[in-house]
Amino acid sequence: MTIRNRTAIRLSDGRELVYFDESTAGHRADYPDTRQLPPPPPASQLRYDPLVDEWVAVAAHRQTRTFLPPSDACPLCPSTSAFASEIPAPDYDVVVFENQFPSFSDRIKPDEITALTDLVPVRPGVGRCEVVCFTSDHNSAFGALPPARVRTVVDALADRTAEMSAIPGVTQVFPFENRGVEIGVTLHHPHGQIYAYPTVPPRTRALLAAAAAYRARTGNDLYTDVLAAERRDGARVVGTNEHWTAYVPAAARWPYEIQIAPHRKVPDLPALSDPERDAFGPLYLDVLRRFDALFGKPMPYISAWHQAVVGEGRDLGYLHLQLFSIRRAADKLKYLAGSESAMGVFVNDIVPERAAQTLREIL
């Protein structure tokens, strides 16, 4: 599936930037990056933790990344005569560019493996990190976008998923949005990110293991059966349309958590059809409005696309979006304290069925 009005340029330090325009009226490539930037920083290290069989990224250069600048110095706003931002053009619809402070990079060789001890190998953080700007309006939010713009964002994420999945050494592509200072955002401008991981993340490893065991036991696809069961039961369904269903997981870990899944099993965003891409926006925007209406103020959240891995286990993946908030009451946040942070055992303060009912009734 090709995307119309896609224009790629290079920033002054060699990083790639791609404009996704909804019309052919603009000439974004006519505006060069006038800044004099240093070369991209060195990539992160991956250090292996043998005690839990996981890799940890160490990226010291990210300590100096931009932190909550004033609106007239926002690096995600269009450039002006007074300030040159990361986006050279004076306006844009959706834009994606390589992160200036990446956790992972495809500018290094993947085979330079060393070791700290006999049990702790160290390897380069091969991969890629990109920033996705949803709108040029600094004061907007994803939930305020029209459905047509959501479609453009989905197309952009699908484009980048396909491109980044082809990078040697990448195991999974993960688009996500962090919203709210409570979550830890460092830039207020409406934006998301895309990580191309060099190892299969722990959450995905757990999903794959559960799906593989279920298939061996039943011959069926696990997420397909979970979604079908939730749709039949209905108690935790928040919204649905012809192609998608939004529901609160029966064992939700977060006070307010929703998964939005297509009715047809697809591995990733590039595999979505045009009707599926069109139908996602209205349902997702409705869910976001319900989140904001819960406590009468903007809801901090993490929005995470779970896609199939690139290599072994890809057939077990089922594309779905996980949306959750750490806010459990108007003036209370859920902190990941002892049980969650140290042991990974979640204790949820909100009964999932009650959360679903509240979200259904809020509007």
Structure confidence by residue, pLDDT tens digits, 299-339? 999 999 999 999 999 999 999 999 999 999 999 999 999 99
On the 0-12 / 13-18 / 19+ scale of CB atoms within 10 A, 238 is: buried
User: Of 141, 166, 199, which residue sits at a domain end?
Assistant: 199
Q: In terms of pLDDT, which residue wins out, 289 or 24?
A: 289
- Does 138 count as an annotated binding residue? yes
For residues 299 and 165, state if they share a domain: no
For residues 220 and 72, state if they share a domain: no
- For the segment 337-346, the average pLDDT, to the nearest whole number, is 94
- CA distances (Å), origin 260, targets 42, 135, 143, 243, 277: 37, 23, 15, 10, 13
Instruction: State the catalytic residue, choosing from 61, 188, 191, 306.
Output: 191
Distance CA 125, CA 199 (A): 9
CATH of residue 128: 3.30.428.10
Tell me the two tokens of residue 324: 């959750």
* Catalytic status, residue 191: yes
Residue 69 C-alpha from the chain's centroid? 22
- Does 74 count as an annotated binding residue? yes
Tell me the two tokens of residue 192: 């998301």
Q: What is the pLDDT of residue 43?
A: 76
Number of domains in the chain: 2
For residues 37 and 154, state if they share a domain: yes
For residues 12 and 119, state if they share a domain: yes
Instruction: Kindly state whether residue 1 falls inside one of the protein's structural domains.
Output: no
Please count the residues of the chain.
Answer: 363
Return contacts of 274-278, CB within 8 angstroms, 24+ apart.
Answer: 274/1, 275/242, 275/243, 276/243, 276/244, 277/151, 277/154, 277/155, 277/158, 278/147, 278/151
- Does 306 count as an annotated binding residue? no
Distance CA 267, CA 175 (A): 14
For residues 174 and 52, state if they share a domain: yes
Q: What is the pLDDT of residue 247?
A: 98
Q: 329: domain range?
A: 203-361
Q: Model-level pTM?
A: 0.96
For residues 103 and 233, state if they share a domain: no
Model confidence over 126-161: pLDDT tens digits?
999 999 999 999 999 999 999 999 999 999 999 999
Q: What is the pLDDT of residue 18?
A: 97
Model confidence over 35-85: pLDDT tens digits?
999 998 877 899 999 999 999 999 887 777 776 788 899 999 999 999 999
Helix (H) or strand (E) holding 328: strand 327-329
For residues 143 and 272, state if they share a domain: no
Q: In terms of pLDDT, which residue wins out, 164 or 71?
A: 164
